[in-house]
């Protein structure tokens, strides 16, 4: 605020300055407790890896003076110590760099090539410095380098991203190099048993299967004793969707709440008991997750389709026209007067579902959040429904082998 004070555009102890943004429509006041004419504020509770936008606002002589530049962008870093930004009022500087990357694999065997891909948000990084202790090469300034490890072990990989103003930030992940036997994915050696809970076993007499039915049949699937021969020898359960859904007879693929259990199947406590008792028998549990689309009755979509500025609007794909690939666009005119929300994209079951917008960072992070929720409840992994459609053909392209789909699956896998 040096310049504003010098020019008489800000009066100390009388005028105010605040910050507004995607995290708060109400100005958060900045203060200068040490009198150095540098005003500061702290914003707490912002999720890591989320992009925020923000601007400053001065109240001078009772009048509101907003910045005239485009809202600044910043991606919240995992390390809190990194989340300090400096700005001049109304000065548009290059965006802060965001050190983020993913690897072609996080676990492999000696001699295999590992590819690293820079994923710095908004392209703000202009140079990259990589360190690969134990690898060949051990350093690189390429944006997307490749390396080889020759010895088993755990290795840290660090990327330091720099923007055009010289601001830097770093990100570190761990790579595991192991023997061939240990590198094989566990799922490839399991005896899987797929269960549709709705029709598996009814224990309460309401005519539909339930989680208690699966629990009661665990000994039939695998009693946990390798010396017996009266069970099926199942070592992994693939459980079809268990969430509240618009039409459970559709298989549960019209999800209305990713973090809840359909009451007709049981409770969260029942599901937790199922996982625990399965694990005691050496049975892993895989959940069927429907991340390509939600029910049109999902609270996210119910809020988004109105087109009135709700934060969930970017979770879905809306358009003013259905000219390109008209087969996938559904009429939304009854829900919104906003012409930009005339149609929404849905590749399954007509108007009953709406495809999620995986081009949105917020959507991708929401899926990671749901994944973390269930992993925290000790499930062993997920079967993905229709991942080929994550980045849909609403742009007129093909659904097949899209690079952004592979990139996100790697990113999602690294998160887990």
Residue 96 to residue 378: CA distance in whole angstroms: 37
Phi first, then psi: what are they for 413, rounded to 5°? -65, -40
Is the distance from CB of 264 to CB of 206 less than 8 angstroms? yes
Cβ contacts of 248 within 8 Å, gap of 6 or more: 198, 262, 264
Main-chain dihedrals φ then ψ at residue 246, nearest 5 degrees:
-65, -45
Query: What is the Cα–Cα distance from 142 to 227, expressed in whole angstroms?
Result: 55
CATH class of 2-82: mainly beta
Integer Cα distance of 97 and 364 in angstroms: 20
Nearest to 77 by CA among 106, 52, 102: 52
Q: Give the C-alpha separation, 305 to 338, whole Å.
A: 9
Residue 183: its pLDDT value, please?
44
Q: Is 376 helix (H, G, I), strand (E, B) or coil?
A: coil
Report yes or no: 264 and 205 within 8 Å, Cβ to Cβ.
no
DSSP annotation of 390: S
As beta bridge partners, residue 381 has 286
| Residue reference for tokens 């690898």 | 135
Please give the helix or strand (H or E) that residue 213 lies within, else none. Answer: helix 211-216
**pLDDT of 286:** 95
- CA-CA distance, 193 to 285, in Å (whole number)? 10
**pLDDT recorded at residue 139:** 96
Q: What is the pLDDT of residue 401?
A: 72
Please, what are the averages of pLDDT over each run of 10 residues along the chain (416 residues)? Answer: 59 82 87 84 80 83 81 72 73 66 78 80 76 96 92 92 78 83 64 95 94 97 88 95 88 94 96 95 94 96 93 93 84 93 91 94 93 92 90 73 84 79
Q: What is the pLDDT of residue 312?
A: 94
Q: Are 57 and 16 in contact (CB under 8 A)?
A: no
Q: How far apart are CA 257 and CA 409, in angstroms?
A: 22
* Coarse DSSP helix, strand, coil percentages of the chain, rounded to the nearest 5 percent: 25, 25, 50
Q: What is the DSSP letter of 192?
A: E
Instruction: For CATH 2.60.40.10, list the domain ranges present in the chain.
Output: 2-82, 101-183
Is the Cβ–Cβ distance between 13 and 1 less than 8 Å? no
> What does the pLDDT read at residue 186?
73
Please choose, from the candidates 220, 223, 236, 238, the residue with its C-alpha nearest in 3D space to the C-alpha of residue 283: 236
pLDDT at residue 184, rounded to an integer? 47
Enter the CATH code of domain 101-183: 2.60.40.10
Nearest of 89, 96, 54, 44 to residue 75 by alpha carbon: 96
Measured from the Cβ of residue 385, the count of other Cβ atoms closer than 10 Å reads 19
């Amino acid at each position: 605020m040096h310049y504003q004070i010098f020019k008489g555009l800000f009066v100390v102890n009388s005028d105010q300055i605040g910050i507004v943004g995607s995290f708060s429509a109400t100005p958060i006041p900045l203060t200068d407790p040490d009198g150095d004419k540098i005003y500061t504020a702290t914003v707490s509770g912002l999720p890591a890896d989320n992009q925020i936008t923000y601007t400053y606002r001065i109240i001078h002589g009772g009048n509101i003076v907003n910045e005239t530049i485009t809202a600044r962008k910043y991606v919240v870093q995992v390390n809190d110590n990194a989340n300090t930004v400096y700005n001049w009022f109304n000065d548009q500087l290059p965006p802060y760099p965001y050190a983020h990357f993913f690897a072609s694999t996080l676990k492999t065997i000696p001699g295999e090539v590992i590819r690293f891909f820079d994923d710095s948000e908004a392209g703000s990084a202009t140079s990259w410095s990589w360190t690969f202790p134990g690898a060949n090469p051990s350093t690189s300034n390429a944006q997307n380098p490749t390396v080889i490890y020759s010895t088993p072990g755990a290795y840290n990989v660090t990327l330091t991203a720099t923007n055009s103003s010289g601001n830097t930030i770093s990100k570190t992940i761990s790579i595991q190099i192991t023997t061939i036997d240990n590198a094989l994915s566990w799922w490839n050696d399991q005896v899987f048993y797929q269960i549709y809970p709705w029709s598996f076993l009814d224990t309460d007499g309401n005519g539909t299967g339930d989680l208690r039915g699966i629990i009661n049949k665990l000994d039939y699937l695998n009693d946990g004793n390798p010396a017996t021969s009266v069970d099926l020898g199942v070592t992994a359960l693939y459980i079809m969707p268990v969430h509240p859904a618009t039409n459970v007879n559709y298989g549960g693929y019209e999800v209305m709440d990713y973090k809840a259990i359909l009451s007709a199947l049981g409770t969260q406590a029942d599901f937790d008991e199922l996982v625990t008792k399965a694990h005691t028998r050496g049975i892993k549990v895989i959940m069927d997750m429907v991340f390509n689309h939600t029910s049109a009755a999902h609270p996210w979509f119910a809020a988004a389709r109105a087109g009135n500025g709700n934060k969930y609007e970017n979770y879905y794909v809306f358009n003013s026209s259905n000219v390109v690939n008209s087969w996938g666009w559904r009429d939304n005119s009854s829900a919104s007067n906003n012409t930009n929300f005339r149609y929404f994209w849905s590749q399954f079951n007509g108007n009953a579902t709406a495809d999620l917008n995986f081009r949105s960072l917020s959507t991708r992070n929401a899926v990671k959040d749901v994944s973390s929720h269930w992993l925290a409840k000790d499930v062993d992994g997920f079967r993905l429904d229709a991942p080929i459609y994550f980045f849909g053909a609403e742009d007129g392209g093909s659904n097949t082998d899209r690079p952004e789909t592979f990139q996100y699956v790697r990113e999602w896998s690294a998160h887990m």
